Amino acid sequence: MRGGMICQRGRGPIGCPHLSAMTSVPAKDSKALTFVKRTSSTLGLWAVVTLAFVSRIGWAYVALIGLLVVLATIEYFRMLKDGGVKGFPGYTLLLTIAYSVGLYAFLLGDGVPVWFDGLAIFASLAGAFVLQLRRPVEGLGSITGVAMSVLGFLYIAFFFNFGARVVFAVPGPGEVPGAMLLLWGIAVTKFTDMGAYIVGSAIGRHKMCPHISPGKTWQGFGGAIAFALLAGCGLYALFQDDMPNFSAGLHVLGGWGLVIGLSIALALVAVVGDLAESVLKRSLSVKDSGQVLPGIGGALDLIDSMCFTLPLLYFYVTWVTG
């Protein structure tokens, strides 16, 4: 007792600042503040993306994609470390950079050779096992480190770089003939995320996958589909003449029927991509991949959906142009 005041653990009265500091809990942002932060980050990102697209320079596109790949890979291995998983971050990051630089050089040149992707995947798996030989075997932890390193390369460097492939996948004039198609795919993907967040926050009641992501609701899922159609159909209506053609008079998007169908397909895999990262984060007991973008999180939080939608968009393009 001091001066008539008892200093009790957990109560933090005036006169016991050390207890107040120990027991204080950081205030959680309100939904309104989170929405403002998320909107500001989104607008800033779209400004950067718009500058890259307006430039119509091939290296500007691949440089932006490459930067996100490297940042997301660093965040991925930071999450593994926080979750107690021993991977091979240095080797995988070097392989990611080498693969990305090689891919961009081939895309800006004569095209990607058929052996390139196979060699990269082989190097990812074989290299991780070679590095594991230098460590003692510690049960499942050893094989988990190898598997998670390979997953990191495939999930981020391999999948997200399909965005760079889309830019050069269609015939046409200019250095970046598929630029508008990539913008269309990104818009559909991010509007899917936006629709799920806005509608789910406003009227979400019925949980979609509470064991994976408690915040996801079926109402938000409906909003995701609606916003994806809004972006897909809206951009097609406004910029139809700017979309690339794969033959005289025939659009690469093939008309309204395929625009609607592809928008829905991208929305579905975007939701899967978002939930896939939720599985990863829940398994590792982390909330966000990073804090680069206020209200959104890290680079991996930004591109998680596109790691699934951009490969699908590329497969569609190669199907209709092949």
Domain residue spans of the chain: 31-43+54-321
Helix (H) or strand (E) holding 246: strand 245-247
Residues 190, 156: Cα–Cα separation, whole Å: 17
Q: Are 167 and 155 in contact (CB under 8 A)?
A: no
Residues 177, 51: Cα–Cα separation, whole Å: 16
* Residues in the chain where the model's pLDDT stays below 70: 1-55, 172-173, 245-251, 288-297
Q: What is the largest CA-CA distance in the chain?
A: 90
Nearest to 314 by CA among 167, 179, 180: 167
Find where tokens 């950067």 sit: 48
Q: Parallel, antiparallel, or unpaired for β 250-251 and 245-247? A: antiparallel
Question: What does pTM read for this prediction?
Answer: 0.82
**So what's the pLDDT on residue 170?**
81
**So what's the pLDDT on residue 5?**
46
Q: Are 304 and 276 in contact (CB under 8 A)?
A: yes
Helix (H) or strand (E) holding 216: strand 213-217
**So what's the pLDDT on residue 15?**
46
